Structure 1
Amino acid sequence: MCTAVTYKKDDFYFGRTLDYEFSYGEEIAVTPRNYPFRFRETGDISNHYAIIGTAHIADGYPLYYDAVNEKGLAAAGLNFVGNAHYREKINGMDNVAQFELIPWILCKCQNLCEARKLLEKINITNTPFSDKFPVAELHWIISDKTGSITLESVKDGIKIYDNPAGVLTNNPPFDMQMFNLNNYRNLSAKTPEIPTFSSALPFSEYSRGLGALGLPGDLSSQSRFVRATFVKENSVCEPDENSCVSQVFHIMDSVAQPRGCCELKNGEYEITVYTVCYNADKVIYYYTTYDNRQITAVDINRENLNSDALLHYPMKTGEQILFQN
């Protein structure tokens, strides 16, 4: 399970958690402008926008979980098990394998408007990367500083939704997630001054935060969608880079999964394997991992972006503690 969130101050930020019971050995991957992407059906692209993101590297190929390109367009794939449905190749359509989707969009598009246009003819195919990698059941959030869309491939076909919340989790489908927000329209960061329950009963303001009473606190994807949206919409911070990056991590912390609270099978537990925050305007990748809460950064602008060689950095997963004495 995962959560993705956008945040806008002077710069545009894009964050996500990856929640799972183990890591696939993901790394921070940079594909320079001349790295050759060989798409199964739509042809090769040997010159494109540079991309940085989280990926599992397989046979020299970055299988991106989330990424942003040098123009500030971001995308992330989140689990959508049971609802995702991909098809065989369809003539006359842009046939893109599920694992190719993020690089296909970020290679070609410099903004959300161009991404919308590109997706008009898309058919997401059920082609696996290899026998070792089954096709993941995902849906996607695609964002830039102007807004967000959600892309879903279901049995009814391709669905492209405007995403005014700038948030995505997992099931149910996105339109149901948005409708569910209606059930929480009374929540507020402020404590109501006049109780609406009854004017005849005595109500005391016994605690701060009563305006958010009823905000769901469980780890289900529907509850995380509500909680992440509420926290994001009520977040306040200074416009400088450190404050914004810190604030995005605080927003993501509101939906983080500590080990032990979501038990699976055979004594396994879902945890927040990593959390990432992109400054999409400056194209800087910030991250933490479950056992390393120190924010670590990779700046795409420090790399040779005209290279044709894939660059990748292993995540720092060991806890780093600063002693002050």
Structure 2
Amino acid sequence: MCTSITLKTKNNQHLLARTMDFSFELEPEMAMMPRHYPMNFHFMEQPLADHYAILGLSKKLNTHFMADGVNEKGLSGATLYFEDYAHYISQDDIDENKIQLGPIEFLMYVLATCETIENIIELEKNVQIVDLFVDFIQRTPPLHWVFVDQSGRSIIIEPRTDGLRIFENNLGILANSPDYEWHLTNIRNYINLSQSSYGPKTIYGQEFKPFGQGSGTFGLPGDLTPPSRFVRALYSKLSTKLPDNPTDLVIAASHVLNSVDIPKGSVVTQRGTLDYTQYTSYLSLSDLAYYYRLYNSFEIVKCTFDYDRIDEDEIILY
């Protein structure tokens, strides 16, 4: 479970933000992967040791992985769960003429090698997402991805039965299952929502007034399912005034994502674990900064690239 949004300032400075909702304790570390840090990918014989630097919260498994991040060229991306809908290539059906990547590796490879959305679209033609078991969660994770570049263009990539599908992320919203096309159809159920409150209405000579302000939001879903979080995030984004600068942009995005934040105890999985918002991240493309807030803190922390160490070959933990 996760929700992501894109947002921009009045002068078109862009940001990708997301909630990281998960039922396995991540305990992430803030990290920068310098340009010559050897990035290991399961299906590649040699590590990728010459790439763009990447900034983000990292989880150490057999190697460091990021579920979202921004690279030095201002390309940002996030990984979200896609339960029951993600479909990968079997390891028995690999095309040796293409690049093979595990689901949790795809985001990392894109940020390491691409500068723009166009670069990703070209890369996608030569990539296979291959079924790859992850010990940490004892399964192959079902995922889809959202990316934004400095121009503000954003795409969603979903691994479906007919291959990788790319959608222009014009709404700037992504949640979890069902697929993106389903969410677009579902929006038609909520086109009555309005920032404006209803006026009084007279019925058979009797005047009725709404209870205070906010009557235009009547019917806005309040549950924590992906379809409801998608709609709620979209409404909050649409009704948010465009900020003036990157700092106010992060603040605006935090208020939008507060509407889909999952407190501990609100969602219990069938395994008996708590699915909650472990962190919220804000990837600012204008100042190449990674902001984040952990569950146990109201403080938003800002991290930037350490350009004095950007050419090193060991991961840098902040």
- TM-score where L is the length of structure 1: 0.88
Q: Which amino acid aligns with 2:183?
A: Q
Q: Which amino acid aligns with 1:188?
A: S
* 2:275 is aligned with 1:279: no
Residue 45 (structure 1) aligns with: 48
Does the 8 A contact of 1:232 with 1:251 survive in 2? Answer: yes
In 2, Cα distance between equivalents of 1:213 and 1:131: 42
In 2, Cα distance between equivalents of 1:71 and 1:200: 64
* 2:196 is aligned with 1:190: yes
Residue 318 (structure 1) aligns with: none
CA displacement at 1:199 relative to structure 2: 9.7
Does the 8 A contact of 2:69 with 2:290 survive in 1? Answer: no
Q: Which amino acid aligns with 2:103?
A: Q
Deviation string for 1:182-203 (max 9, x for gaps)? 11112111124586x9898744
Does the 8 A contact of 2:34 with 2:309 survive in 1? Answer: yes
Alignment of 1:119-130 (within 5 A): 119-128=124-133
Residue 72 (structure 2) aligns with: 70
* 2:4 is aligned with 1:4: yes
Alignment of 1:39-188 (within 5 A): 39-41=41-43, 44-59=47-62, 61-87=63-89, 88=91, 89-128=94-133, 134-144=139-149, 145-188=151-194
* 2:255 is aligned with 1:253: no
Does the 8 A contact of 1:72 with 1:110 survive in 2? Answer: yes
5+ residue gaps in structure 2?
A: none
In 2, Cα distance between equivalents of 1:239 and 1:3: 24
3-state SS in 1 of match to 2:223? coil
In 1, Cα distance between equivalents of 2:136 and 2:198: 57
Distance 1:41 1:206, change over 3 A: same
Distance 1:280 1:101, change over 3 A: same
Distance 1:132 1:19, change over 3 A: closer
* 2:37 is aligned with 1:32: no
CA displacement at 1:278 relative to structure 2: 1.4
3-state SS in 2 of match to 1:183? helix
- TM-score where L is the length of structure 2: 0.89
Does the 8 A contact of 2:199 with 2:210 survive in 1? Answer: no
Deviation string for 1:212-251 (max 9, x for gaps)? 1111111000000000111112111531233211111111
Q: Percent identity over the alignment?
A: 30
Deviation string for 1:131-161 (max 9, x for gaps)? 8864211111111243211111122322111
Q: Between Structure 1 and Structure 2, how many residues are aligned?
A: 311
Residue 320 (structure 1) aligns with: none
In 1, Cα distance between equivalents of 2:273 and 2:104: 26
Q: Which amino acid aligns with 1:288?
A: R
Residue 246 (structure 2) aligns with: 241
